[in-house]
Amino acid sequence: MHSETSKVTTRTLLKMKAEGKKIAMLTAYDYSMAGLLDQSGVDAILVGDSAANVMAGYPTTLPITLDQMIYHGASVVRAVKRALVVVDMPFGSYQGDPLEALRSAVRIMKETGADAVKLEGGQEASESIRKILSAGIPVMGHLGLTPQSINQFGTYAVRATSDEESEKLLRDAKLLDEIGCFGLVLEKIPAVLAGKVSRSVSVPVIGIGAGGEVDGQVLVLQDMLGITRGFSPRFLRRYHDLGTEIGQAVSRYVEDVKSSDFPNTKEQY
């Protein structure tokens, strides 16, 4: 368990980049897991809209609502003492209308107590980002594979493999840096491009499937613990096979109940 308790802020992450210290981020969506992550030394926790997939079983991140993200965000914040908590803005809560984006971000900050919000998109999202920043709300950008646009992409394959797309991504990253985002997530893009982005912007770049030349890494907790099944992209390192262990524990419990082994005399009043 990690003993350091001083709160991680957006400034801490900037300092870590300046000092060449890598940033460890993971997703969490609930109180119990968030507490374990916080006590184990993660620098930042992302309440990702991947909750739509891993918590609710939807095939995409599109259906999750602002109210649901607020529920997950508030649950995580209640458990966390040290890590920076970033809450994803869900699909439909910020695109196209900066005022609507501001209202959504304000709700997230007020009702969850999180430290920052994250949203997807570069130049297209920049007006919304500026508006949110104008209210003093820290914003993290998200470029590369942006799952809320899956219906436009049509695939979860690696992004920015063409010159045109990689040039746009670099331009977008510089724009988000200039307008005041405190950090960027780069998802599923070539490692060389991600390294170039990281060296071209002043803010920390956190990668997922973006190689090792960036300032930190993020993974979906249930993926790295081996709870999600049938998902094994190249970038995913599984640190545990918790899915199998949970299955074995539950099978033993079922067996014990059916054989009347549980509860025994010491386990009753």
* Residues in contact with ligand KIV by the rule CB under 6 A: 27, 46, 48-50, 88, 142, 185, 187, 208, 218, 220
Q: How far is the CB of 185 from ligand KIV (least distance, A)?
A: 5
Does 187 participate in catalysis according to the annotation? yes
Report residue 265 as tokens.
């005399």
Strand partners, 140: 118, 183
Judge whether 127 and 99 are in contact, CB under 8 Å.
no
Q: Compute the least distance from the CB of residue 119 to ligand KIV, in Å.
A: 10
For residue 197, the minimal CB distance to ligand KIV (Å) is 15
Q: How far apart are CA 58 and CA 148, in angstroms?
A: 13
User: Toward ligand KIV, which CB reaches closer, 102 or 186?
Assistant: 186
What residues contact 63, with CB distance under 8 A and at least 6 apart? 52, 56
3-state class of 101 per DSSP? helix
Q: Give the active site residue among 187, 245, 255, 267.
A: 187
Q: Quick one: how far is CA 232 from the chain centroid?
A: 18
Task: Name the residue number minimizing CB distance to ligand KIV.
Answer: 48
CA-CA distance, 22 to 214, in Å (whole number)?
A: 8
Q: How far is the CB of 249 from ligand KIV (least distance, A)?
A: 26
Chain centroid offset of residue 192 CA = 22
Q: Which residues are catalytic?
A: 187
